[in-house]
Amino acid sequence: MEHLRIITKNHTNPAYGGALVGAHAVARRLGCSLSHRAPATPDDVEQQSALLDQAIADRPDAIVLLPAHATGVGAAIGRVNAAGIPLVLFVSEPSTGDWAGFIGSDNVAMARDLADRVLSGLPDDAHVAIMDGHPGSITTPERRQGFEQALAARPGMRLVEAVAGDYQQAPARAAALGLLARHARLDGLLVSNDLMAMGVLQAFDDTGRHAAMGSINGTPDAIAAVRAGRMVATASFNTHRFGCLAVEMAVRHLRGDATPGRIVLPADIIDSANAEAWDQPYEQRACPDWDTFAAAHGEAFAA
């Protein structure tokens, strides 16, 4: 029986909880065991590096990693490579190291599509703000780029401010309260993940204000908010699916099967038209068929 160690960025983001649900489901189906670790301090690079070093000492057959930083865990990834432990990444790819495969989405395109959905319902002279994620996260600048591309296509709209919510609920609430205090007019808010959007909704409740908002992850809480009319849309950065495919990729690699170097999945935009179909707990969501998704979305690593 193979044993895999999955290491995420934190214990707080429900999207990563969804990834674990999918990962455990595939591990059970394939007859593997799976253990999970994450930094006690969300997204802490030193703690995640220490967890990688502990995994090396524990000698799992493979490690599945959601890296916390583009470069900050590079030395620890190098030590995993030197130890000869196969590594599969999901959500983000750092700038250094070697890994057997990657599962993720195009963050720029996903953020642009989400922003297009939100901005299409606003007046031509709308005042819009952006809420970024953690400054050290690989996905933060990518999602900002997508938001800015959508705004650039609407020159009458004004980006009034960009703030950081660190991909966490409480910092996002505080950032949103400051944003609302500084701007009497705010028509739209583009938020880089659903957990932060929950903090923004708290700020809306605190102040009696509201703005058209979209965010990213497709978590059950965000889908419920879309169905309730409190959010325009969420993008299905489908971490449940990532968890399923990352574990399957790792096990297939261990068993000598050929696997693509990267599987890049398109994101769905979840709004009032389709939210009911998405409104189900992670435990009720089906894992994708490996052969179908690997064939349709698999890529070799660039030379």
Residues in contact with 166: Cβ distance below 8 Å, sequence separation at least 6, in sequence order:
42, 43, 133, 134, 135, 172, 196
With b for 16 or more beta-carbon neighbours within 10 A and e for fewer, the 15-25 pattern comes to bbbbbbbbbbb
> Rounded to whole angstroms, how far apart are CA atoms 12 and 202?
17
pLDDT band for position 302 (cuts 50, 70, 90): low
CA 9 – CA 189 distance, rounded (Å): 25
- Mean pLDDT over residues 185-194, rounded? 98
Q: Is 80 exceeded by the pLDDT of residue 127?
A: yes
In percent, the amount of the chain with pLDDT more than 70 equals 99
Q: What is the pLDDT of residue 197?
A: 98
User: How far is it, in rounded angstroms, from Cα 92 to Cα 137?
Assistant: 9
CA dist., res. 17 & res. 15, Å (int): 5
B/e letters for 103-131, b = 16+ CB within 10 Å, e = fewer, are: bbbebbbbbbbbbbbbbeebeeebbbbbb
The predicted model gives 241-246 an average pLDDT of 96
* 18 close to 239: Cβ distance less than 8 angstroms: yes
Helix 45-58 and helix 74-83: axis angle, to 10°?
A: 10
Q: Are strands 101-104 and 87-90 parallel, antiparallel or unpaired?
A: parallel
Mean pLDDT within 3-16: 96
Q: Average pLDDT of 177-184?
A: 98
Domains, in order of start, for the chain: 3-105+238-266+283-299 (3.40.50.2300), 107-235 (3.40.50.2300)
- Residues ≥6 apart with Cβ < 8 Å to 185: 127
Following CA atoms 6, 9, 10, 14 in sequence, which dihedral angle do they give, to the nearest 10 degrees? -80
Q: State the pLDDT at residue 157.
A: 98
The arithmetic mean of pLDDT across residues 268-274, rounded, is 97
pLDDT of 27 strictly over 70: yes
Task: Give the amino acid at 241.
Answer: R
pLDDT, residue 263, reads 95
pTM, two decimal places: 0.89
In order of 71, 183, 191, 210, 233, the CA distances from 230 in angstroms are: 37, 20, 14, 9, 9
Contact call for residues 123 and 187 (beta carbons, < 8 A) = yes
Question: How far from 243 is each of 59, 102, 135, 156, 213, CA to CA, in Å?
Answer: 21, 11, 24, 40, 27
Q: Give residue 237's pLDDT band: very low, low, confident or very high (50, 70, 90).
A: confident
pLDDT at 301: 75
Span 71-89, average pLDDT: 97
Q: Are 54 and 37 a contacting pair, CB within 8 Å?
A: yes
Query: Tens digit of pLDDT for each residue in 152-174?
Result: 999 999 999 999 999 999 999 99
- Residues ≥6 apart with Cβ < 8 Å to 276: 227
What percent of the chain is predicted at pLDDT more than 90?
A: 96
pLDDT of residue 300: 86
**Overall size of the chain counted in residues:** 303
Nearest to 76 by CA among 102, 105, 103, 47: 47
